[in-house]
Structures are given as structure tokens and as C-alpha cells.
């Protein structure tokens, strides 16, 4: 568990739960799901001291549920956002160490290593002056943003009011939550590039004219990963859309600073929604490209089969007259023309060769024997 007391541009990190709020600013309580389960009573007691309210039992169950999809809920005292982070790690059951993709050199010795999309929920309880976030145990998002928060504090002068806001320290728990969510959505970029690289490889293999494609299981896993990612993004979009609609119902003070802060929250929420939409559009474009590549693969296979059948048909047509001549002279008749002549064999063989040559030239001119699909 890590606790950050944020006042203006000053950030103080601690490991113990606070007993009181700072004079100005807010408190961010970031803990893992295991720590939240173990210290639930102490966290509830601290929230009651800081805000006068505790978490609802159903919301506590949501924060402890590691399988919960992205969703948004609210009460009269706080808002609850559950957002599934996107991550990527090799699947030990399906990965093949002898055909991995070398990311440093860019060379492709074989099919890329299969990956599964690993997701886990991150829960946020947003009070007026307290932010409680519940992360998975191995979540690097919390540590990365905590390091960025401390670094931005050290980089700016405490007397400079421009340090807070869009590029500095978040000025409210809602702003902090939106920045962490935006950081999780931006983390999809690496996953998007990796999925694009994998699907580009499979498309190249599908359309290669001299390669017999046999990795249908790998292509199926890649398509399932795209479907899973699209479903995750749809849940995220629904949750963020509900949060954006809830912002419109907030009571905002009459002073310009409060109105500007509320407007910045709306802008950041729309920005997160736009990033999620980009993810969905990219995933759907990859799905469409994959379907197109599969259809083109079967079309190429069909054209190749047609070429083979056309060539075999042309060769059969060339040898049909020869078989006819051989069948006629193979009949067991006692009296046949040329049967007892010395030159009959050579004339017959020459006629058969001439017929085969003429028909071969005719079929070649008509491109019945030429390769048309490369």
C-alpha cells in the first residue's frame, strides 16, 4: 500500500493510512487487491475519518473481484470506476521458442511467438478529496504513474502555479483517476504494434505463392485475441461514456476556477474516449484485413488448382489421339494396312510425334500450358 498526500504541487509519499486530510488538496490511497482484502477494515475506518463515509459492500465486492469487466457505478458520496488494463505476455502453453520474432534485428526467422491478451481490473473510488485505487499485485501502472508524479513534483517549483493542471500534478481525485486510465489506454499502443506485426506475418504467409500454409491454429489464436480485445474496449467505452454523462450532473461552484476544473475533466474524459475509439477502429481494421487475407488465400488456392487442372487437361488432350492410334494398331486383325510393311512403324511413330507437337504448340499459344498464377 502506498499513500500520497497531494497539496498543490507538493506530493508526500507514505506507507501508513492518513488520519486527516491536508489543508488543501487531496489524498491518493493506492493498494493492491490482496492488501485491500487484508486491510479492508482499516481502510474503511480511514475513509470514514477522511470523508465521513465508507464504501458500500457491493462496491467492495466489485473492487475485490478480479474477473469484473470495465464498469461505472456511483453513490451519493463517491463514484466507482472499474477499468481493465491491457497487458501482453507470452503464453507458455502456446509459445514456440524455436520460431520467435527477433524484435531487435527485425528479422523473421519463422512465425512470431503467440501471445495472449492478459487483462486485470483496476478499481477507483473517487471521493471529493480522496482517491482510492485497487490494483493487481503485478500492476506496473501504479508504480509508473507514482514515479511520474514524484518526478513532476521535483521538477517544478512549489511557488509556480502552472505546475498543476494539464502537464503537472493532477488537481483533483477525478483528474488523477482519468490520468491513470489514460495511461492504461496508451499502454495498448505496444500491444497494437505487436498484434499488427503478427497479423502482417500471417497475411504474408497466406499470400505467399510457394508456401503451403499450415499454421491455422496460430491464425485462429490471433483472431480470437482481436475479438477479445474488441470486447474489452467495448466495455471500457461504455464505462467511460457513463462517467462522462455523470460529469454533467455534478454540482459545480459559481467561481471560474471550479468551472474550469470541471471543463478540464470533461475534456480529458473525451480524450480517453477518443483513444478507446482508436483502439476499436484499429482492431476492426485488423479483423477486416485478416478476413480479406484468408479469402484471398482461398482464391489463390482455387486459381492454382484451376491452373493445375487446365494443364492436366491439356496434356490429356494431347495424348488422346496418340492413344487412339496405338489402340487401332493394337487390334488383333489379320489384315490391316501397313501391318506388314517395314516402314509402317516409323511412319506411325512420326505421325504420332507430329500430332503431339502440333497440339502442344496450339495449347501453348492459347496459354493452356503456361503458368498464370505466381
Shared-domain flag, residues 27 and 62: yes
Helix or strand run (H / E) with residue 254? none
Residues 313 and 230 in one domain: no
In terms of residue numbers, what domain contains 245? 2-300
Residues 333 and 266 in one domain: no
In a domain, 374, yes or no: no
CATH code: domain of residue 333: 1.20.58
- CA–CA dist 171, 196 (Å, integer): 37
Are 224 and 97 members of one domain?
Answer: yes
Domain harbouring 34, CATH code? 3.30.460.20
Q: What is the pLDDT along the chain (374 residues), one digit of tens a residue?
A: 888 888 877 888 888 888 888 888 899 999 999 999 999 999 999 999 999 999 999 999 999 998 899 999 999 889 999 998 875 454 444 433 333 333 333 444 444 444 567 788 999 999 989 999 999 886 777 877 788 777 776 655 444 444 444 457 888 899 989 988 988 888 776 677 777 777 777 777 777 767 777 777 777 777 787 888 888 889 999 999 999 998 888 877 677 778 888 888 899 999 999 988 888 888 888 888 888 878 877 787 787 788 888 888 888 888 888 888 888 878 877 777 777 777 888 888 888 889 889 888 888 887 777 665 44
Please tell me whether residues 264 and 360 are part of one structural domain. no
Inside any domain, residue 372: no
Q: Round to whole Å and give the CA distance between 312 and 315.
A: 5
pTM of the complete model: 0.70
270 in a domain, yes or no? yes
**What ranges in 80-212 are assigned the alpha helix state H?**
140-155, 173-186, 188-207
Q: Does 328 reside within a domain? A: yes
Total tally of structural domains belonging to the chain:
2
Longest Cα separation, the chain: 125
End position of a domain, from candidates 250, 281, 300: 300
For residues 249 and 328, state if they share a domain: no
Task: Tell whether 370 is covered by a domain.
Answer: no
Grid coordinates representing 209?
Answer: 505463392
64 and 213 together in one domain: yes
Amino acid at each position: 500500500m502506498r499513500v500520497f498526500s497531494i497539496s498543490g504541487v507538493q506530493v508526500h509519499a507514505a506507507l501508513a493510512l492518513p488520519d486527516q486530510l491536508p489543508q488543501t488538496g487531496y489524498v491518493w490511497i493506492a493498494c493492491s487487491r490482496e492488501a485491500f482484502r487484508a486491510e479492508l477494515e482499516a481502510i474503511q475506518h480511514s475513509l470514514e475519518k477522511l470523508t465521513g463515509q465508507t464504501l458500500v459492500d457491493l462496491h467492495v465486492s466489485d473492487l475485490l473481484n478480479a474477473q469484473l469487466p470495465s464498469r461505472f457505478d456511483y453513490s451519493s458520496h463517491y463514484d466507482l470506476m472499474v477499468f481493465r488494463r491491457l497487458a501482453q505476455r507470452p503464453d507458455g502453453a502456446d509459445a514456440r521458442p524455436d520460431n520467435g520474432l527477433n524484435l531487435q534485428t527485425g528479422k523473421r526467422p519463422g512465425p512470431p511467438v503467440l501471445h495472449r491478451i492478459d487483462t486485470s481490473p483496476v478499481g477507483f473510488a473517487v471521493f471529493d478529496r480522496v482517491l482510492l485505487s485497487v490494483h493487481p499485485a503485478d500492476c506496473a501502472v501504479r508504480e509508473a504513474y507514482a514515479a511520474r508524479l514524484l518526478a513532476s513534483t521535483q521538477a517544478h517549483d512549489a511557488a509556480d502555479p502552472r505546475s498543476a493542471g494539464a502537464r503537472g500534478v493532477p488537481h483533483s481525485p477525478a483528474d488523477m483517476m482519468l490520468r491513470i486510465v489514460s495511461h492504461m489506454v496508451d499502454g495498448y499502443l505496444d500491444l497494437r504494434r505487436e498484434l499488427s506485426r503478427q497479423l502482417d506475418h500471417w497475411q504474408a504467409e497466406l499470400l505467399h505463392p510457394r508456401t503451403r500454409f499450415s499454421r491455422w491454429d496460430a491464425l485462429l489464436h490471433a483472431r480470437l485475441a482481436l475479438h477479445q480485445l474488441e470486447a474489452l474496449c467495448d466495455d471500457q467505452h461504455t464505462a467511460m461514456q457513463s462517467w462522462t454523462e455523470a460529469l454533467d450532473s455534478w454540482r459545480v461552484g459559481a467561481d471560474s476556477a471550479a468551472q474550469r476544473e470541471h471543463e478540464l475533466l470533461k475534456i480529458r474524459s473525451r480524450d480517453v474516449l477518443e483513444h478507446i475509439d482508436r483502439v476499436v477502429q484499429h482492431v476492426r481494421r485488423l479483423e477486416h484485413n485478416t478476413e480479406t487475407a484468408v479469402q484471398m488465400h482461398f482464391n489463390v488456392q482455387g486459381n492454382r488448382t484451376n491452373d493445375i487442372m487446365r494443364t492436366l487437361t491439356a496434356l490429356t488432350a494431347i495424348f488422346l489421339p496418340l492413344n487412339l492410334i496405338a489402340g487401332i494398331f493394337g487390334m488383333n486383325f489379320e489384315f490391316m494396312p501397313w501391318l506388314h510393311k517395314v516402314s509402317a512403324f516409323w511412319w506411325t511413330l512420326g505421325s504420332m510425334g507430329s500430332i503431339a507437337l502440333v497440339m502442344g504448340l496450339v495449347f501453348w499459344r492459347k496459354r493452356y500450358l503456361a503458368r498464370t498464377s505466381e
